Structure formats: C-alpha cells, structure tokens
Amino acid sequence: MAAEIRDQGGRARAVACDVTRTSEIQGVFSTLERCDVLINNAGTNRPQPFLEVDAATLDELLALNVRSMFVTAQAAARIMARRHCGVIINMSSQMGHVGAPNRTVYCMAKHAIEGLTKAMAVELAPLGIRVNSVAPTYIETPMTRPYFENETFKQDVLRRIPLARVGKIEEVVAAVVFLASPGASLVTGTSLVVDGGYTAQ
C-alpha cells in the first residue's frame, strides 16, 4: 500500500509492529512529529458458544480488540495534544451495539470500544481532539469469507440486514473518510453505524 501511494505521487512509510506489545506501539509513535488522524483498526474474531469459550480465546480477543486499541489511541492522542488538534477513529462493529450467539467475547470487546470512544471524546475535546467509532455490519473481507461459505449462515445474515446484502470495504472507507474530514468537525463521541439497517430492528 505504501508503494502504491508513492507511485501515485504521495508520501508514505510503512512500519510493522505487534500492536499487542505496548513497547512496540510506543516505539512507532515516538518517531512521529505529528499525528493528524489515527484509524485504530486492529482486531479479530473467533466465534465460540459462551459455555465453550476458552481462556486463550478470551485473552487473545481482549488483548487485540480492546487493550491494543486503548494503548494505540493513547499514544496517538499524546502527540495530537501538542498541536491541539486531531481525529481518532476506532473501528468497532454492529456487534458493539447488539448481542449475538457465539460472539460473547467479540460483542464484549466491541461494546468496550464504544464506551472507550465516548469517554475519550469527552475527555479529549478540550484538547481539540475528536473521537468517533465506525460500526460496520458483515463486510466482504478475507476474515469473513470462510463464514459465508456456510450457506445457512449466509442466508441468516442476509435475513437480518434490511438492505439484504453484506457491505463492501469501500463503504466502510467512505465512513472513515467522512469522520476524518472537516465535514465532521462537530461530530465526536458517536458511532457511525454502517450496517444496512441491522441494528435498527
């Protein structure tokens, strides 16, 4: 992606790190003079029935889906505070607004991100930093593709989405671009739900 941006005349630098390691996150941000926008987008899911959730799954999802997002946002906000401006966008999910079977840990983690977003927005507003979340429905990605190979699962999902289709990556990107833009200058502490109506019923 960095090469593609450079090929089109832009400037980009790719840095790899393990976001579950606080020291690595802090190391990356220590090299930045400024941070205008953070898109906090690390996460995963491992569906399991509640009674069968193992400790390793619980720990992994909380470390990646919650703790790493907190630490990354904190590191970015510290830089943004120097210039008294910035935008943080936490990637949530429609599951941060509802519950679902076999997704207790994921729902718990995404509800935590929604709460974190609101609390950060209130606390960081005096520093000129806006904080919002984007909460997509099922999106066509490599992570969701195996689920949709199950026809029963696929039809159940489509039945629950009033627009009767899963989302595209470009539709999530559009929501992120809006929240990062001056057009959303009065928007903070909220969740932009991109779910085809899933949570409206």
Q: For residue 147, name the pLDDT band (cuts at 50, 70, 90).
A: confident
Residue 157 covered by a domain = yes
Residue 27 covered by a domain = no
Query: Which amino acid belongs to residue 7?
Result: D
Residue 41 covered by a domain = yes
- 26-79 per-position pLDDT tens digit: 999 999 999 999 999 999 999 999 999 999 999 999 999 999 999 999 999 999
Q: Does residue 134 carry a pLDDT above 90?
A: yes
CB-CB neighbours of 98 under 10 Å: 17
Active site residues: 106
**Residue 96 has what DSSP assignment?**
G
CA angle 135, 34, 10 (to 5 degrees): 80
pTM of structure:
0.94
Q: Which neighbouring-strand residues pair with 167?
A: 139
Tell me how far apart the 2 most distant CA atoms of the chain are, in Å: 52
Residue 141 covered by a domain = yes
pLDDT for position 185: 98
Q: Does residue 144 carry a pLDDT above 90?
A: no
Q: Does residue 143 carry a pLDDT above 90?
A: no
Give the start-end residues of each E strand in 60-187.
86-91, 129-136
Residue 166 covered by a domain = yes
Residue 12 covered by a domain = no
Residue 31 covered by a domain = no
Nearest in space to 190 (alpha carbons), one of 55, 106, 92, 73: 92
Q: What is the dihedral of CA 173, 140, 45, 124, to 10 degrees?
A: 10
Environment class of residue 150 by beta-carbon count within 10 Å: exposed (0-12), middle (13-18) or buried (19+)? exposed
Structure tokens at 161: 């989405």
- 10-24 per-position pLDDT tens digit: 999 999 999 999 999
CATH of the domain at 181: 3.40.50.720
Q: Provide the number of structural domains found in the chain.
A: 1
Residue 105 covered by a domain = yes
Query: Which amino acid belongs to residue 72?
Result: T
pLDDT for position 152: 93
Tell me which residue range forms the domain holding 173. Answer: 36-195
